[in-house]
Amino acid sequence: MADLGLVKTLAGAFGTNEASLTLILGLLAGYPLAYFQRQFLFGKSATLHHVYFTLTGLGILYANFGTDILHHVICVFTNYLLMRTIGPKLLSVQLAFLFNMGYLLAGYHFCASNTYDILWTTPHCVMTLRLIGLVTDHFDGGKDPAEQSADQKKLGLTRTPSLLEVAGHSFHFGGVLVGPQFPMRMYLDMIEGKLTDNSEGKRPACVVPALKRMALGLAYTVVFAILNGYYYDDYMTEPAFFESSWLQKYLFVLIWGKVMLYKYVGCWLLAEGSCILSSLTYNGRDEHGNPLWDSCKNIKLSKFEMVMSFQDVIDSFNINTNKWAAHYVYKRLKFLNNRMLSQLFTLVFLALWHGFHSGYYACFFLELVYVNAEKQAHALLKVSPLVSSAVRHPVARPVLLVALKLVLLAHLGYPLVPFALLKSAKWWQVHKSLYFTGHWPFLIFIAAAPFLKKLLKPRDTNTSKETKSD
């Protein structure tokens, strides 16, 4: 990491570590850089833009990770060579998956510790998906149009991008540290001036939307910094946690889980704001004709804060990564002809992308369990008119909604415990002290769901009459 004396002093004053503060400053640096691009590079040549994004992105990475930026440079150049030498063929995609995931996992193996560290692998996991997506889009663009899906027609590249284009796309300051993911087609559309809210050649009116996201990002970051002093990860490994009652422990995990997610929300909002300011995120207009700047949105704040189901959590959180996984992994597993298997393999890929720690796999396993238990519950409502009408009863409905919200809140932090503590020796003890109440009720329900469907399914009255007459 670069030696920044001032950053070290500020980190001590704010009670945080140098790496975390440098990362936040790197995200904030995107705003003056985007404003400079907007004021002085608008309407200028594409080459100038590519060089600017490459140099500024590398500068941000160097300030955070020093000479370790060579890892990113090596991978960018290697993926460019794959496209240039092999062309838009399946082999290039297979090699891109193997090389990029292999390089990232090697980085985890040699650099990771038993706690969260902000190392060069932090931005490299983002770049890994971006480069795999780039090579895959190159392959999709070379397909016969009749074989392309709607998404592949939208994102596919009909030509091999230049090295400068690949570098500019990979090192764009808005997404170089923590994301969001955005495809090469979107990046090139921005360079060509297509992502704008006017047709008069004026600069896009995106300053206010960008500053709003920045303000929200800073607010969430400050809230996290304050509450994290009380609800921090390591408390769940201290004797005081285990000596408290079951209810006290569950309440702590409940609140801690929400606080823990604010760390990611704050970073994503800050990154999104700089992407908006560079006009990368223009997404057409809404039904009232207002411009939308949300194509790089990684968090739906209102939905995230008011979630009523586990699916709502997934749909509102880490949106761009989920979209990436759906497009480049899940939909490519159609040949399995099994949605559950496709979902399982996608979650295994995402867990592996995070690293080798058992906590990642435990977390994604619980995500799979919760979402499928929820689907089974919805299926039961459709099967039984009696249960469905009871749930919609004006007296029962508000009670049920409150109960569902409590269940959701109670189990929001539970699967995040292994994600945060990483090692099974730590997170297993926490779940054990909670009597695994985030596991067995859902697993039992999933196992019992087929029998409940048969039990609750109304009998065919015509069949009953025919049986009686016989």
Positions annotated as catalytic residues are: 318, 354
The amino acid present at 254, given as its one-letter code, is: L
Q: Residues 463, 468, 470, CA angle at the centre, nearest 5°?
A: 95
- C-alpha to C-alpha distance for 115 and 118, rounded to whole angstroms: 10
Mark residue 35 as left, alpha or beta (left: phi above 0; alpha: psi -120 to 50; beta: remaining): alpha
Between the alpha carbon of residue 397 and those of residues 36, 147, 339, 349, the distances in Å are: 54, 47, 31, 38
- C-alpha to C-alpha distance for 69 and 102, rounded to whole angstroms: 17
Ramachandran angles phi, psi of 70, nearest 5°: -60, -30
- C-alpha to C-alpha distance for 3 and 134, rounded to whole angstroms: 33
Between the alpha carbon of residue 220 and those of residues 60, 196, 228, 259, 269, the distances in Å are: 22, 29, 12, 9, 9
User: Tokens 């796999």 sit at which residue?
Assistant: 361
Could you tell me the two tokens for 206? 């995106």
